[in-house]
Structures are given as structure tokens and as C-alpha cells.
Amino acid sequence: MTAILLPFTSGRVTLKQGGGGRAMRALIERLFVRDFATMPFDGVGVDAMDDGAAIRIGDDWLVITTDSHVIHPIVFPGGDIGRLSISGTVNDLAMMGATHVLGLTCSIILEEGFSLETLEAIQRSMIAACREANAPVVTGDTKVMGRGEIDGLVINTCGIGLTRTLVRDNGLHTGDRIIVTGNIAEHGLAVMASRHGIEFEGDLVSDVAPMNGMIDSILADAALADAVTAMKDPTRGGVASALHEMASKSNVGIVLQEQTLPMTDAVRSVGELLGIDPLHVANEGKALLGVRADAAERILDRLRAHPLGRNAAVIGTCVDERRGSIILDTGFGRRLLAEPEGEPLPRIC
């Protein structure tokens, strides 16, 4: 037998650090937040680790956000990387209250040999998403890299919007209700199922959609807008990760009623087949809202009147115990909900 020397060295970034959980947050905090946040700045900056930044301009806030998009497969049930890139950025703006998008940028990095036909299809779906969101792409950039130097296609989008009502992810108070705007886990499980050859008869498709219209139906009504204490979109890391972040930044505990979580049978079923908890799975067209208890029903009614919010539900309550933690009431008993550590993977046990 010959001895094999490992070509590996330690100190490398792992995929877990991009999964939206604890490991990713630690990486970002260590690498970027600590030093970037030392420069003087009036507004919501990088150290807030919110969905985007907000810069004060007179009585308004200029909200700005950026996102890079990579996904396998590039086209998935219910959408593709083009729709995802526009929706993701529009949604990040909307989560901070900027429901009217001033403009988007779009940078595309392509691998040599990428199919032009696919590229055109992606471009068409970007345009369709822009129309839905009433959000114009105003500038962009294109680069091509050699074969093998990048995997297919990466899209970066940046968005700006103006708002007078800035909504943060850290404003929850004891007694506030938590609303989710619809069925959870559809995006992540649809993508994962298509990767693992699960064919559907049912309706397991990604929920990817721009939500600024739906959010605007709340925020445009001053009485309702006033009752919204926090917003966040549960993308990577799912509802579990987003709620942990909101709870810990707001210094409250959250009791989540599992049986009230809106979820299709298909999601429940694929989750069980692959051994993945839907609470840990990404959404791309859902928002979590913290709202004052007395306004919860009115906000719920308004959300349900919007096509994207038909299945909206109150799923939890903020409490003055176990701050920073999520207590899951399963109907059988109560337990703490753990924060996902990385991208969920199919498991056998």
C-alpha cells in the first residue's frame, strides 16, 4: 500500500457557512460587521444585519439592499434564478418598508458555454417579475468567465427604495403576535425535491414572488402600518432562523403554535421523505410580521385579501421568558426550536 498525502489544508470556508444559520452569521460578524461598522454612519447599517440598510434623507429613508443568487437547478418548479433574483431584492426592500422600488441593478457573471436559450428564458422571467413588482432594472453589468471558473451563472441584484415608515426586524414586544403570510417551506422543498428526483402530482412549487404589493396593502394604511412592529422574510434557514434572529434582536421569547403553521400536504410529505423540518426550509415569497395584538385580526384580513396572502395565519406570540429563544408548542408538548446550522440535507436517520 502506498501512503496517500492529502492535498487538503485546514482553514477553508465550508458550505455550512452559507446556509443561513449560526455558522453563517458567525462568519459575517467576524469578517465584515466588526470592521465595516466602525465608520460613522447615520441610519441602519451593516452592524444591524437587517435585510438591507437605511440611510436618512430628510424625512425619508433611502433603503438599499444587495443579493447574489446561485441555485441548482437554475430552473426549478415554480420559477428560475431570474425570478428569484428580482423577487429576493424587491422583498428585502419591502421588509424594511420600502414597498415602492426606485430601481434595481443587475450584474450577471456567466460561464463560457452557458446556453443562450436558457439565458434568454431567465431574462424573460426577470422582466415578468419586474412588471409584477413594478420595479425597473436601471443598470447592469455582464462578465463571462472561462469554463470551470464559475458554475453556470451568478446573478447579483441591488435595489433602492424610499420610505417614510421604516420597519426593522428588531421591534418585537411582549404580547405582539407573529403572522406568516402563507404556506411555508415551498421554495426550499420544491428545489430539493427536484434535485432528488421526487416527481409530484400535487402542487409542490416554489413560492418565489415579489411581495411588495402585498406588504404595501398593509403599510399604505397608516392605522395598520403603525401596528407592525417587525418584518423579515424567512429565506435561507427558514422560519426557524428568521424567528431566532427577530427574537434575539428584539430581546423577547416567541411561543410558536406548530399546529397553526400553514403548510400543504405535499410539503409535509416531502419533508418527511427527506427528513427535513419545514421550519428550516427557505421561502422566497413569504414574510413574517410582528404585529400588535389588537391589530392582528385586521392585518390578517387585509393580507388574506391579497392573492399572495390567502393562507396567512397567526402562528405565535411574543413572551417575556426565554428571551432570544423560540418555544415550539407541538400540541403534544413544548420544546425549544433549534436554529438550523447550515443548509438542510436529506438524511436517512
AA identity, residue 140: G
327 binds another protein (CB under 8 A): yes
Distance CA 250, CA 242 (A): 12
Residue number with CB closer to another protein (116 or 348): 348
The cell 469554463 sits on which residue? 147
Q: How far is CA 40 from CA 36, 49, 312, in A?
A: 10, 16, 40
Residue number with CB closer to another protein (28 or 198): 198
348 binds another protein (CB under 8 A): yes
Residue 213's contacts (CB-CB under 8 Å, 6 or more residues apart) are: 99, 132, 133, 134, 306, 308
321 binds another protein (CB under 8 A): yes
State the Cα torsion 56-62-68-74 to the nearest 10°. 150
Instruction: Say if residues 65 and 51 touch (Cβ distance below 8 Å).
Output: yes
CB of 278 to another protein, least distance (A): 11
Distance CA 87, CA 75 (A): 15
Buried (b) or exposed (e) across 135-145, using 16+ Cβ within 10 A? Answer: bebeeeeeeee
8 to 47, contacts with another protein by CB under 8 A?
Answer: 8-10, 12-16, 23
6 binds another protein (CB under 8 A): yes
Q: How far is CA 256 from CA 178, 239, 259, 329, in A?
A: 8, 10, 9, 6
322 binds another protein (CB under 8 A): yes
Copy the grid coordinates of residue 103: 430601481
Figure out which of the listed residues 135, 184, 230, 328 binds another protein, where binding follows CB under 8 A. 328
CB of 192 to another protein, least distance (A): 9
272 binds another protein (CB under 8 A): yes
DSSP state of 33: I
192 to 211, contacts with another protein by CB under 8 A?
Answer: 193, 196-204
CB of 155 to another protein, least distance (A): 24
Stretch that binds another protein, among 5-13, 80-88, 172-180, 228-236 (CB under 8 A): 5-13
341 binds another protein (CB under 8 A): yes
Figure out which of the listed residues 46, 75, 277, 293 binds another protein, where binding follows CB under 8 A. 277
Residue number with CB closer to another protein (192 or 228): 192
- 45: helix, strand or coil: coil
Residue number with CB closer to another protein (254 or 287): 254
Residues in the interface with another protein (CB under 8 A) total 59
CB of 182 to another protein, least distance (A): 18
The pattern of x and - marking residues 232 through 271 that bind another protein according to CB under 8 A reads --------------------------------xxx-xxx-
CB of 340 to another protein, least distance (A): 10
273 binds another protein (CB under 8 A): yes
Pairing relation of β-strands 177-180 and 313-319?
antiparallel
Distance CA 20, CA 16 (A): 8
Q: For residue 210, is the peptide bond before it cis, meaning its omega torsion is within 30 degrees of 0?
A: no
Residue number with CB closer to another protein (37 or 198): 198
State the Cα torsion 89-93-99-100 to the nearest 10°. -70
Instruction: Say if residues 140 and 281 touch (Cβ distance below 8 Å).
Output: no
CB of 4 to another protein, least distance (A): 5
Copy the grid coordinates of residue 262: 400553514
Residues near another protein (CB under 8 A) are: 1-10, 12-16, 23, 193, 196-204, 264-266, 268-270, 272-275, 277, 321-322, 325, 327-336, 338, 341-342, 344-349
